[in-house]
Amino acid sequence: LPTDPGLARHLVTSLVEDGFDPAFSLRLTVDHGITHGLQHLLPALDVPIVPIVINMFAPPLPSLRRCHELGAALGRAVAEDGGAKRVAVVASGGLSHRLPWPKWFEALSDDDRFLVEAWLNGRGSWGDYEVRRRQIIRAAEADINPAFDEGFLKLVEEGDLGPVLDRTTADIDAEAGNGAQEIRSWIAMLAALGPGARGETLAYAAIPQWLTGMGVAVVEPPTTKEIA
C-alpha cells in the first residue's frame, strides 16, 4: 500500500508533544480492518495512507475518553502539518458483535489455549493456525445488539459522543460484545474532525452470518461558519 512517511513522522512527533506515547513501524502488516475499507473507497489503491492502530483487542484497553483525546490530538496534528493536502480520516470496526476470543490470562478450554497460542506465536506461520481458527469462529453464535448500534450511530449523527465516553470496557462488553470495543476507532475519527462534526448513517444491518452489526456512516467536519 502507498504510504505518506512524512505525514506519519509528523503525526508521531506531534502526538509525543501532545502527551501521548505512540509506537511506529517501518514494516507494519495490516489486516482486513484497514484493507477492506480501502478497497471500496480507493479501488486503485493509489492514494497514500497512514495506518493508525488502536488497541481494541488485548487488555488492558485504552479508555473511550482517551481514544477521544487521541483523535482530537490527531486532528490538531493534521491541521498543523502545513502541507497542501486533503486528508480523509477513515475508521473501521464494530459495531456490536462477540467473537469467541479467550480471556487472554484465563485460557481454560482447548480452543482458548489454541487461540492464545495462535496470536502469540503464529505471526510467521499464520496458515498453520487459520483452518482451526476459522472453524472456531464459524461455530460461534451471533450476539448482536441493534439497539446499542443504533444508539451509537445516533450519537455519531449528532456529533455528541459525551454519553458514551465514560463507559467502561466491561460495560461495553456486557451490552454489545467484545467486538464492540472497536467503537474506539469511530470515537477517535469523530474527535479528529473537531467539535461540531456531524454524521449521516448510510446503512445499518444486523448480519448474523457475519456475527456482527454492520454500519456505515459519513461525517463532515464543521464549516468555518459553524466553528465561528
Domain end: 88, 112, 139, which one?
A: 139
> Whole domain around residue 220: which residue ranges?
5-99+142-227
Regarding whether 119 and 158 lie in a shared domain, the answer is no
State the CB neighbour count (10 A cutoff) for residue 188.
25
Regarding whether 58 and 95 lie in a shared domain, the answer is yes
Question: What pTM, to 2 d.p., does this model score?
Answer: 0.89
| Secondary structure (DSSP) of 84-103 | -----------SSB------
Regarding whether 203 and 184 lie in a shared domain, the answer is yes
Residue 219 has pLDDT above 50, yes or no: yes
Residue 107: the pLDDT is: 75
Residue 105: the pLDDT is: 78
Query: Residue 83: which H helix or E strand, with range?
Result: none
CB 146 within 8 A of CB 23: no
Q: pLDDT by residue (tens digit) across 153-195?
A: 999 999 999 999 999 999 999 999 999 999 999 999 999 999 9
Show which residues are catalytic: 32, 97
In the chain, which residue ranges form alpha helices assigned H by DSSP?
5-17, 32-41, 64-79, 110-121, 127-138, 146-158, 162-165, 169-176, 183-192, 224-227
**Closest alpha carbon to 78 in 185, 187, 193:** 193
Q: What is the mean pLDDT of residues 195-220?
A: 94
Residue 227 has pLDDT above 50, yes or no: no
Q: pLDDT by residue (tens digit) across 108-135?
A: 889 888 988 888 888 778 788 889 988 9
